[in-house]
Structure 1
Amino acid sequence: MSAQGGPVDSAPADRRDPGAADTTACATRAELLDAFARYLDLQRGLSAHTVRAYLGDLADLLTFLGVGEADGEPVGPALDSLDLSDLRAWLATMSADGAARATLARRSAACRTFSTWAHRNGMLAADVAARLRSPRADGRLPSVLTPAQATALLDAAADVAATAGAATDDDAAATTRALALRDRAILEALYATGVRVSELCALDLGDVDATRRTMRVLGKGNKERTVPYGGPAATALEDWLAVRGAVAASDAGAALFLGARGHRIGPRAVREIVHRAAARADVPDLGPHGLRHSAATHVLSGGADLRSVQELLGHSSLATTQRYTHVSAERLRAVYAQAFPRA
C-alpha cells in the first residue's frame, strides 16, 4: 500500500456529520463497523438490507487490508495508508474470483460511501474512493413469468388455501388454513403491487386502505409511496385478515403478515413461500423479486407509461425503470413477426 501521510487526528468541525464527533476514536475494527452502521442507519436512512450489505463489504475490505477479526485489531495503520490502488486491487480480486458485475457495483458504492464518511470524520486524509468507478451493469433482468404462468401460480395458491385444513376441525387445522390463506395473500400482494420483499414484511394493518384498494409502502431511503392493488389481491387480503387471529401471538402488534409463530414475518419466510408456490404450480422457480419484475413487465407490456411504473416500483431514477423496455421491444418483434408478411 502506498502511504498517504501520517494519521489524521481531526477533521474540520463544520465538515463532520452531525452526531459523529466520536468517530475519530474508532481504534478497532469492531468500533469502526459499529460507527459506520450507525451512520448508514440513523443519518442515511438506508434499509436494513443495504446496511447489512455495506457492512459486509467494509468487513471484507478490512480483511483484504490485513485487519483481521480478532478483538482489538487496530484499523489506524490500514486507513493511514489506504489509497485508490488498494480499492481497485480488492475489486479486481473479486472479479477474478467470478463476482457478478452487480456485486462489484454495489461494493464500489459501499467503498465510496465509506470513504466519504471516513474523510469527513477525520479517519482518512483524503476521499480515496472519490474517483473509483463502478463496473457497468449488464442491465439484464432475472427471468420473469409470463401472464399465464403468473395466473397458474396464483390459482394454485388459491386451490391450496381452499382445501387446507379441511379434513379436520380443530385448532391445528384452523392454523393450517390460516397460513395457507396468508401465503395466498402474500403472493397476490407481491404480484399486484410489485413491492420489494422488505417493504411487504414491513406493512402494518393501517397501511392497507381496503376501500381504495391501496397500500402505503415505506421504501428505500424512507420514501413513502402509495401503490394500488386489484380485485383478486383484495379478496385474498380480506380472507387472510378474517383468520389472522388464529395465528397472531399476543404481542404480534400491527404487522399485516405474520410468521408461523405469530410475529411479523421475515423476508426469508416470504422467499420460501414463493419458491414453494412456484414448485407447486410447475412454473419457473423465482423469488419475491422475480414476482416484482414480473409485475413491472406485465404492467409495462399492457401499455403503462414508464413514469407510472417508476412510481409503482419506487425507483428513484427513471433509468432503472427503463430496463423493462426491452420486454416491450421483444413483444413488438413478436407481433411484427406474426403480422407482417415479409417478416
Structure 2
Amino acid sequence: MLSESMQKMVDRFLRYIASERRYSEATLDGYQRSLNQQGAILQQMDIGDWTKVSLNDLRQMAMRMNRQNLSASSIANKLSALRSFYQFMLEQGIIDVNPARSLSAPKQARPLPKNLDVDALEQLLNIDDHSLLGLRDRAIMELFYASGLRLAELVGLNINDVDLKRRELLVLGKGRKQRLVPFGSKAVQALEKWLKVRGQICPVGEPALFVSMRQRRMTTRAVQQRLNVWAKRQHIGNHVHPHKLRHSFATHMLEGSGDLRVVQELLGHANLSTTQVYTHLDFQHLAKVYDAAHPRAKRSKK
C-alpha cells in the first residue's frame, strides 16, 4: 500500500489523463498498477515522497524490478508510465526537474529469426510447375534466397533494375539508399523463364518486375501468401516468410565466407551491429574459423 500522500499524487495524475488525455479504462488501470508497484519499491527504499526522488533512486528501483525477473518489455512499459507521471508533475509546477526523463530501460533482447537449412531450401525451390504463376513464384523465391532482399525491396524492383548479364540488382533500400546486389545462376535461370511469360499478364508500360494476375505490381501481402502456398505444397514444415529467406541467405553467406562486412553490405545494414544480431553461427563453426585464422591459435607443427 502506498502512503496517503503518494497515493493522492497518483490519483491526481490518473484524473488528469482520464479527463485531459481521455485514456481508456484499460490504460488507466495499467498506469495505476505500474505506479503503485514502483511506489511500493520506493517506499521499501525509505522514500515516501514522489517529489524527493532522484535519478539514482529510480535507477536502483529499476534494478530491483530487474531482479524480480520482470521482462525487459514489462520494465520498459513501467518506466514509460513513470516518465509520464513525472512529466505531469513538472508541468503542474510540483517539481522543477523530471528525474525520470533520462531514465533508460534495460535493453530488450532481439529474437533471432530462424533460418531454413540448405536441404529445406532445396526442397522449397525444387518446383516442377511451368505455369505462369509457378514460373513467377519460383523467380521470386530464387531471387529472395540469392540476394537477401527485404520484402519491400523485392516488390519495389523494376524490370530495369535487373541486369541478367552482370547478375546485379539495383536496389532501393532503407532511407532511399541505393546499393548493387549480386545474385547467382539459379536466380538468373528462374528470372529468364519468368521474363519470357511476364508479358502475358503485364500491361505495356508497367515497370514492376513482379506483377499479379490483376496486371499490377505485387503487394507485400501477396508475396507472403504465395510463399505460404509453396511451403505447404513443397511440404516444408516451418512457416515460410520473406524474412526467413533473407535470414537464411545471411546465415549461409556468413557460414560460407566468415566475412561479416560483406554480409553487412549485401543486406544493406547501416551498422555492423545490426548484422551481428541478424546473423548467427553455431559455435563449432566459429571455433573452427578462429582456430584456422588466429595466429596464436594455430597449432605448431612438430
The alignment's TM-score, normalised by the length of structure 1, stands at 0.55
- Evaluate the alpha carbon distance shift between residue 237 and residue 133 of structure 1 in structure 2; reply closer, same or farther with a 3 A threshold: farther
CA–CA distance in 2 between the matches of 1:221 and 1:235?
31
2:22 aligned to which of 57, 66, 72: 66
Q: Where does residue 66 of structure 2 map in the other structure?
A: none
2:124 aligned to which of 153, 156, 173: 153
CA–CA distance in 1 between the matches of 2:282 and 2:71?
30
Aligned residues: percent identity? 42
Name structure 2 gaps, 5 residues minimum.
1-9, 25-30, 39-69, 81-96, 290-302
Q: Where does residue 279 of structure 1 map in the other structure?
A: 232
Q: What one-letter code is carried by the residue in structure 1 that aligns with 2:239?
A: D
- Evaluate the alpha carbon distance shift between residue 130 and residue 279 of structure 1 in structure 2; reply closer, same or farther with a 3 A threshold: farther
Aligned-residue offset at 1:129: 9.8
Q: What one-letter code is carried by the residue in structure 1 that aligns with 2:115?
A: V
For residues 26-80 of structure 1, the C-alpha deviation after alignment (integer angstroms, 9 at most, x for no partner) is xxxxxxxxxxxxxxxxxxxxxxxxxxxxxxxxxxx99x94269xxxxxxxxxxxx
Larger Rg computed on CA atoms: 2
Bigger mean CA offset, 322-331 vs 255-264: 322-331
The alignment's TM-score, normalised by the length of structure 2, stands at 0.62
Q: Where does residue 111 of structure 2 map in the other structure?
A: 140
1:188–1:233 contact (8 Å) kept in structure 2: yes
1:274–1:287 contact (8 Å) kept in structure 2: yes
1:216–1:226 contact (8 Å) kept in structure 2: yes
1:300–1:324 contact (8 Å) kept in structure 2: no
For residues 120-145 of structure 1, the C-alpha deviation after alignment (integer angstroms, 9 at most, x for no partner) is xxxxxx99997364652323312110
- Evaluate the alpha carbon distance shift between residue 326 and residue 202 of structure 1 in structure 2; reply closer, same or farther with a 3 A threshold: closer
- Evaluate the alpha carbon distance shift between residue 209 and residue 262 of structure 1 in structure 2; reply closer, same or farther with a 3 A threshold: same
Q: Where does residue 217 of structure 1 map in the other structure?
A: 171
Q: Where does residue 27 of structure 1 map in the other structure?
A: none
CA–CA distance in 2 between the matches of 1:100 and 1:286?
28
Following superposition of structure 1 onto structure 2, how do residues 113-192 of structure 1 map, counting pairs within 5 Å? 131=102, 133=104, 135-155=106-126, 158-161=127-130, 177-192=131-146
Secondary structure of the residue that 1:327 maps to in structure 2?
coil
Q: What one-letter code is carried by the residue in structure 1 that aligns with 2:169?
A: M
Aligned-residue offset at 1:296: 0.3
Aligned residues: 217
Following superposition of structure 1 onto structure 2, how do residues 280-295 of structure 1 map, counting pairs within 5 Å? 280-283=233-236, 284-295=238-249
Structure 1 residue 266 corresponds to structure 2 residue 225? no
- Evaluate the alpha carbon distance shift between residue 333 and residue 145 of structure 1 in structure 2; reply closer, same or farther with a 3 A threshold: farther
Q: What one-letter code is carried by the residue in structure 1 that aligns with 2:170?
A: R
For residues 63-108 of structure 1, the C-alpha deviation after alignment (integer angstroms, 9 at most, x for no partner) is x94269xxxxxxxxxxxxxxxx99x98xx9xxxxx9995xx79xx9
Aligned-residue offset at 1:326: 3.4
For residues 257-301 of structure 1, the C-alpha deviation after alignment (integer angstroms, 9 at most, x for no partner) is 101201000100010111112122222212000100011000001
Aligned-residue offset at 1:192: 0.5
Aligned-residue offset at 1:220: 0.8
1:188–1:232 contact (8 Å) kept in structure 2: yes
Aligned-residue offset at 1:331: 3.8
Q: Where does residue 74 of structure 1 map in the other structure?
A: none
1:299–1:309 contact (8 Å) kept in structure 2: yes
For residues 236-266 of structure 1, the C-alpha deviation after alignment (integer angstroms, 9 at most, x for no partner) is 0111111001111356x20101012010001
For residues 148-167 of structure 1, the C-alpha deviation after alignment (integer angstroms, 9 at most, x for no partner) is 11111111xx3123xxxxxx
Following superposition of structure 1 onto structure 2, how do residues 57-96 of structure 1 map, counting pairs within 5 Å? 65-66=21-22
CA–CA distance in 2 between the matches of 1:314 and 1:127?
39
Structure 1 residue 254 corresponds to structure 2 residue 207? yes
CA–CA distance in 2 between the matches of 1:100 and 1:257?
41
Q: What one-letter code is carried by the residue in structure 2 that aligns with 1:150?
A: L
Q: Where does residue 85 of structure 2 map in the other structure?
A: none
Aligned-residue offset at 1:320: 0.9
Structure 1 residue 231 corresponds to structure 2 residue 181? no
1:310–1:321 contact (8 Å) kept in structure 2: yes
For residues 200-254 of structure 1, the C-alpha deviation after alignment (integer angstroms, 9 at most, x for no partner) is 0100011101111010111111111111100000000111111001111356x20
